[in-house]
Amino acid sequence: MKILNTLSLLSLAVIGSKAMKNISSKELVKDLTIGWSLGNTLDATCFETLDYNKNPIASETCWGNVKTTQELYYKLSDLGFNTFRIPTTWSGHFGNAPDYKINDQWMKRVREIVDYALNTGGYAILNIHHETWNHAFQKNLDSAKKILVAIWKQIAAEFADYDEHLIFEGMNEPRKVGDANEWNGGDYEGWSFVNEMNDLFVKTIRATGGNNALRHLMIPTYAACVMDNAVNNFKFPSGDDKVIVSLHSYSPYNFALNNGAGAISNFYDGSEIDWVMNIINSNFISKGIPVIIGEFGAMNRNNEDDRERWAEYYIKKATSLGIPCVIWDNGYFEGEGERFGLINRSTLQVVYPKLVNGLIKGLGNSIKTRTTVRKTTTTTSQSQPTNDNSCFSVNLGYIRSENKNKNK
């Protein structure tokens, strides 16, 4: 019966939908080059200031970024990016139990942006982000499972006919928010929660049929961190060759992410990056398990030359192991917040071209700007947000003390 069910799901993947290649995730990631995240946009939350019932899609711009456009993705594609992560918060956009019905307008807008990314010929990664119902405490597990199944069933149904260029990412940085173990790699309670939710996510998507029988899926370690205790207690599913480990690593911490005491603006030591890559290699790559670093970056400190060297070093190390990386761009360039902006989404100007060049050089290529003529639309003016969502790998005991979502 199990064999018959599997064969039925596989047949559904090619009947009545866009043909989907039956390839392993290990093969798929070879086609991913460099990625870009639409940060602080669909993942923005403004529960206190917005009436979600009155305007279900207003949250897209409530952290200060402009409405997302097709030409933004065409520009990024011209720069050499071919993988586009679309962080999406579903809270505020779905109804009550037991159905947890996602608002039709919100789902339509998410689909539009997914299509923007896929229209470039590249890949899109769609996830759930900034949720509060999936904090990794045992007391939340039963209710979190119900919501996860309901939300992902609806997402899977919406995109059931999309091919392998659309990847689903089950959770973003699931962790014990507010707990002493939030950013130190977790504990038994947190690891168990994440492992159970990852397992349920994979089973839920597979059961929906269509192309989802062959959908490539990303699942994170605890908090998506690259720490020994998080990695060692992570359970990777067996018998499914279309699953990818999702990790985040803002390294070196003091150069890339630290916004307080100890922060540095010069990149002169790649040992922490080496440490991160060695952990990933020994635990996953060497065992034939594919990995995507779904978030990385180094914030602006008026040090673009150093960030160019950092980008080339980081990407060269990751590329040598076959690990695609997705840079975090929250649209924020100046101020006291976490300044991970890369491209001005209003003018489509690359604010830090040397940084982009470093990324491309790390792939082993020089930057090649294409001049494809495409249909464009207009955008509105842009203000700068002060919030981002970003995990980081921790080495030598570095732990971020404040909540990363504090500044909005």
CB 92 within 8 A of CB 57: no
**Options 295, 308, 312, 338, the catalytic residue:** 295
- Terminal-residue alpha carbon distance, the chain: 51
CB 400 within 8 A of CB 180: no
CB 47 within 8 A of CB 90: no
Per DSSP, what are the bridge partners of residue 166? Answer: 124
Contacts of residue 182, Cβ cutoff 8 Å, sequence gap at least 6: 175, 176, 223
Q: Give the Cβ contact number of residue 10 at 10 Å.
A: 14
Alpha carbon 278 to chain centroid, angstroms:
22
Q: What sign for the dihedral angle of Cα 287, 173, 77, 276?
A: negative
Helical spans, DSSP H, in 159-251: 188-207, 228-232
**Options 169, 173, 272, 312, the catalytic residue:** 173
- Side-chain-side CA neighbours of 195 within 13 Å: the count stands at 16
- 136: nearest Cα among 218, 217, 203, 221: 221
Active site residue 71: no
Active site residue 173: yes
DSSP 140: G
Determine the angle formed by the axes of helices 304-320 and 353-362, rounding to 10 degrees: 20
Cα dihedral: 69, 74, 79, 84 (round 10):
70
Rounded to whole angstroms, how far apart are CA atoms 166 and 296? 21
CB 194 within 8 A of CB 174: yes
Strands 123-127 and 81-86, sheet pairing:
parallel
- Side chain identity at residue 309, one-letter code: R
Q: What sign for the dihedral angle of Cα 63, 64, 66, 72?
A: negative
- Side-chain-side CA neighbours of 378 within 13 Å: the count stands at 2
Residues with catalytic roles: 173, 295
